[in-house]
Amino acid sequence: MFDDIPVQVWLLIGIVATAYAPVAYVYRYVAADPSRRDVAAPPLDLSWRSERQFIYCSGLLVALAGFAIFIFTPAAERFARSPSFQPIVLGALGCGSLFTVARALATGTIEPLVRGFNRTYERAAYPRRFWGSAAWNIILGGIFLFGGVATIADQERDRCFNYQDKLSPQEQLSACDGLLVDQSLSREDRADFMRNRGIARHSLGQSDRAIDDYNRALELDPSDSYALYNRGLLYLEGEQYQFAIEDFGQSLKLRPDNTEGYEQRAQAYAATGALLEATADITRVLHDRPRDESMLVWRANLYAERGDFAAAERDLDAVRGINPSSVLLLRGEAILSLAKKDADAALVKLQAALAREPGHLWTLNTMANIQQSLGQHDEAKATRAKLPSMGREGRR
């Protein structure tokens, strides 16, 4: 719940809390102006009124107002998103706290932090409160400075993990590189940083180096299901299907609720012709996502390829119940027609799909092949002319 509250709101709350005491002093100072009092009124003790304190509180309020305006500017947003934001803020608070102590030792007067800016204690008049306030300010300053230093280390870790993908892959890679220089890292931390560096290199297209990082992460922590899954993705992309199947299988033993693992392994199984295993994995995905049109059509395709037309029809009927106008359904019906050796019916379905998604690579390729097989050479040539010069077939 609190994560949904903008940072500016928290800052405004802090500004209001900080401004309370100065506002109260300025109001009290103005309200108690002797020149505005009735001369017949009984005298009041105005020894607390200090022009110096009034100027100080007024200046502080102006600064707080300016800061309140600044936090809503684009420059403030950029600064808040930068990795230096928290260390700078905490460091500034720490230095400010320690400065109040240094100033107190020089002037003999101190203002305890948090208690309010109009509460001051003189060393001569209130020695206990003076030294107690100094100790309090020193403790707060130390906490702020320690927090600033700790935040720097935590931020580098967060940058390496790149939560919510806020950083570019290159920024993530640089953060992980910086952390891995530390020779005192535990095996667990080094494995985590290796895995995340592999993710960054994967995003940058450095597949071989990413696999190296996953290999080293798994040497340190063989039970890292995420490293196994990520390495499996790279093997799948590199068409090393057997390696991909092994990695996905080990990852799923460690994390059996990873639906994406079954989906990716199904692709590897299908690529090797292991249709029964691919069908089983898709069935496992559908256990978690029973209304997933793409999974239902994909399983129908595999059933059709295996010659189980009744099962294919059941899956396509399920898609019709979910989304009768699905373009995936049209392509699935075309594949079933092809499996039944009804090329004309398949061509009709593909033409309807192409009308819905012009330029779809798989549809164009399949249509051209069917037209060629039917002796429609001119039509096949015209269909292939619509294909982009470069491209990869999408999954059906």
The tokens describing 349, both together, are 């379905």
Task: Say if residue 393's pLDDT is above 60.
Answer: no
- Name which of 49-53, 150-154, 383-387 the model is least confident about: 150-154
pLDDT at 37: 63
| Long-range contact set of residues 80-88: C-beta below 8 Å, sequence gap at least 24 | 80/7, 81/166, 83/155, 83/156, 83/159, 86/148, 86/151, 86/155, 87/148, 87/149, 87/151, 87/152, 87/155, 88/148
pLDDT digits (tens, 9 = 90+) for 282-308: 999 999 999 999 999 999 999 999 999
Q: Residue 109: beta bridge partners?
A: 122
Q: Measure the CA–CA gap between 128 and 131, rounded to whole angstroms.
A: 5
pLDDT at residue 257 tops 70: yes
**Residue entry with tokens 């007024």:** 58
Percentage helix, strand, coil for the chain under 3-state DSSP, each rounded to 5: 75, 0, 25
Of all residues in the chain, what percent carry a pLDDT higher than 70? 88
Pairing mode, if any, of strands 121-122 and 109-110?
antiparallel
C-alpha triplet 164, 166, 169: angle, nearest 5° = 105
The pair of three-digit structure tokens given for residue 232, joined into one six-digit string: 């499996």
Which has more pLDDT, 287 or 22?
287
Given a cut of 50, is residue 131 above it in pLDDT? yes
DSSP letters for 55-119: HHHHHHHHHHHHHHHHTTSHHHHHHHHSTTHHHHHHHHHHHHHHHHHHHHHHHSEE--TTT-TT-
What whole-number distance in Å separates Cα of residue 57 and Cα of residue 19? 9
For 122, the 3-state DSSP assignment is strand
pLDDT at 117 over 60: no
pLDDT of residue 150: 63
- The answer for residues whose C-beta is within 8 angstroms of residue 320's C-beta and 6 or more apart is 329
Please tell me the predicted confidence (pLDDT) of residue 86.
67
Does the pLDDT at position 365 exceed 90?
yes
The mean per-residue pLDDT over the stretch 110-136 comes to: 78
What pLDDT sits at residue 83? Answer: 57
Does residue 389 surpass a pLDDT of 70? no
Q: Which residues contact 183 (CB under 8 A, 6 or more apart)?
A: none
pLDDT, tens digit, for every residue of 221-244?
Answer: 999 999 999 999 999 999 999 999
Phi and psi for 110 in degrees, rounded to 5?
-135, 150
Q: What kind and span of H or E run contains 295?
A: helix 293-306
pLDDT at residue 126 in the model: 84
Residue 261 pLDDT > 70: yes
When mean pLDDT is compared over 23-37, 74-88, 121-135, the highest value belongs to 121-135
Q: How far apart are the first and last CA of the chain?
A: 41
Mean pLDDT for the stretch of residues 371-394: 79
Percent of the chain with pLDDT over 90: 56
Q: Is the pTM of this model over 0.75?
A: no
For residue 370, give every residue at least 6 positions away whose Cβ sits within 8 Å of its Cβ, in sequence order, or none. Answer: 338, 343, 346, 347, 350
pLDDT score, position 252: 97
Per-residue model confidence (pLDDT) at position 394: 40
- Give 319-343 pLDDT, tens digit per residue: 999 999 999 999 999 999 999 999 9
- pLDDT of 362: 94
Please write the tens of the pLDDT for every residue from 26-62: 888 888 877 766 656 667 777 778 888 889 889 989 9
Kindly report the average pLDDT of the chain as a whole number.
87
